[in-house]
Structure 1
Amino acid sequence: MKNDLDKLSLLVVDDSPINQRVVTMSLKNTMGEIDSAQNGMEAYKMYCEKHYDIILMDGRMPIMDGYEATQKIRNYEKEQALENQAVIIALTGSDTDQEMKACIDSGMNACMLKPFRVHEFLQILKDFN
């Protein structure tokens, strides 16, 4: 993954427009490009068109949840033999062990609890460099 955050693209996936806005406003001066999706299906389609560097993924959403979307993205990355995989970070409201395990089992790289905290997000990214 590239080191300069202002050169990275971020996809925020959450069925709550308020949550999307909080993340976007919090990171607008830090990240290069920020797009958002309402559900996992939309996120998957957007990722296939534009390979985002980072995806902040809600777990529970209508149409397709974040776990299934992550699995589809990981399968797509393998099928396309993409050199750089997206860093997928769960942004979830549940801190149960079962929820954390579901995040990692689906192919996510890390988990964050809502509400979104910029410093925690940046620390997770730093750990991937």
Structure 2
Amino acid sequence: MKNNLDKLSLLVVDDSTINQRVVAMSLRNTMGEIDLANNGMEAYRMYCEKHYDIILMDGRMPIMDGYEATKKIRDYEKEQALDSQAIIVALTGSDTDHEMRACLDSGMNASMLKPFRIHEFLQILKDFN
């Protein structure tokens, strides 16, 4: 991963426009580029067009949930033999063991609980540096 966050691209995936706005506003002066997706299918299509460095992924969404989208993104990365994989962080409302296991099993790198907390997110990214 690149060292400067202001050079990184972020895709925020959440079916709540309020949650999208909170994240985007919180990170607007930190990340280089922030795009928004409303569901997993949209996120998958956007990732295939533009390989984001980081994806903040809600777990439960209509059309395609975050777990299925993550699996598709990971399969795409393997098929395309990409040099680097996106860091996918779950932003979930549930902290059950089942939910945490589902995040990791789908291929997500880490998870954090809603509401979004910028310091926690930045610490997760720092851990991948």
Paired residue total: 129
Alpha-carbon distance in structure 2 between the residues aligned to 1:105 and 1:59: 12
Partner of 1:120: 120
Partner of 2:74: 74
Give the SS at the match of 1:56.
strand
CA-to-aligned-CA distance 1:32-89 (integer Å, 9 cap, x gap):
0000000000000000000000000000000000000000000000000001100000
Runs of 4+ in 1 over 3 A off after TM superposition: none
Instruction: Give me the TM-score of the superposition, normalised by structure 2.
Output: 1.00
Give the SS at the match of 1:44.
helix
Q: Percent identity between the aligned chains?
A: 86
Paired residue type of 2:34: I
Offset at 1:25? Answer: 0.1
RMSD between aligned residues: 0.2
Alpha-carbon distance in structure 1 between the residues aligned to 2:105 and 2:43: 19
In structure 1, runs of 5+ residues without a counterpart are none
Alpha-carbon distance in structure 2 between the residues aligned to 1:3 and 1:88: 17
Partner of 2:90: 90
Instruction: Give me the TM-score of the superposition, normalised by structure 1.
Output: 1.00
Paired residue type of 1:69: A
Offset at 1:111? Answer: 0.3
